[in-house]
């Protein structure tokens, strides 16, 4: 019988952000199937690389994916290598995608430098959380003693 249970290490993607200027975010992704990492130069590359990775490991399976009782394509998934600590120059996030429903991702993101964890219900919400952490970090560097602030709600942005 095929072993189908995988630990949380396999469910987590490490996102190392090396630069964040204006609306551009660049860095690297690390996962047990990408031990050498994979670079991204902007948000679109980040989203496409993550989606390709999730499709390749089929964990979690896409809500719209065709399912069957046949074997998994590509054989068994490789087991995770030894734990390696990778850090981004600007920030490091551990992204755990639990579901892929409604053509988006749902899960949690942990900002490793501050040990703060938040849940997200869509790719957009994930990106907003990461951006708020990066913006908060930039403000903290400019103003010593400033605290990390949560993203503004829609009503606060309008006024």
Question: Rounded to an integer, what distance in angstroms lies between the CA atom of residue 43 and that of residue 130?
Answer: 11
| pLDDT tens digit sequence for 56-100 | 888 777 766 665 666 554 444 443 344 445 889 999 999 999 998
Q: Is the dihedral of CA 48, 50, 56, 59 positive or negative?
A: negative
DSSP letter at 112 equals T
| pLDDT tens digit sequence for 32-64 | 888 789 999 999 999 999 999 988 888 777 766
Mean pLDDT of the chain: 77
Question: Rounded to an integer, what distance in angstroms lies between the CA atom of residue 105 and that of residue 111?
Answer: 18
Segments in the chain forming alpha helices (H)? 8-11, 43-57, 123-142, 154-158
Q: Is the peptide bond before 84 cis (omega within 30 degrees of 0)?
A: no
Residue 6 confidence (pLDDT): 47
Q: What mean pLDDT comes out for the span 93-121?
A: 93
| Predicted TM-score of the model (pTM) | 0.71
Q: If we measure between CA atoms, which residue out of 21, 23, 51 comes closest to residue 38?
A: 51
């Amino acid at each position: 019988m095929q072993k189908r249970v995988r630990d949380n290490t396999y469910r987590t993607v490490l996102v190392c952000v090396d630069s964040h200027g204006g609306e551009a975010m660049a860095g690297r992704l690390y996962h047990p199937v990408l031990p050498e990492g994979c670079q991204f130069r902007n948000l679109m590359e980040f989203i496409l690389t993550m989606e390709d990775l999730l499709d390749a490991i089929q964990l979690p399976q896409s809500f719209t994916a065709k399912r069957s009782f046949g074997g998994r394509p590509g054989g068994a998934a490789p087991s995770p290598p030894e734990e390696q600590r990778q850090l981004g120059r600007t920030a490091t996030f551990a992204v755990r995608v639990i579901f892929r429903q409604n053509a988006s991702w749902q899960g949690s993101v942990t900002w490793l430098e501050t040990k703060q964890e938040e849940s997200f219900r869509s790719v957009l919400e994930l990106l907003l959380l990461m951006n708020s952490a990066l913006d908060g970090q930039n403000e903290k560097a400019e103003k010593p003693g400033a605290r990390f602030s949560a993203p503004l709600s829609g009503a606060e942005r309008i006024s």
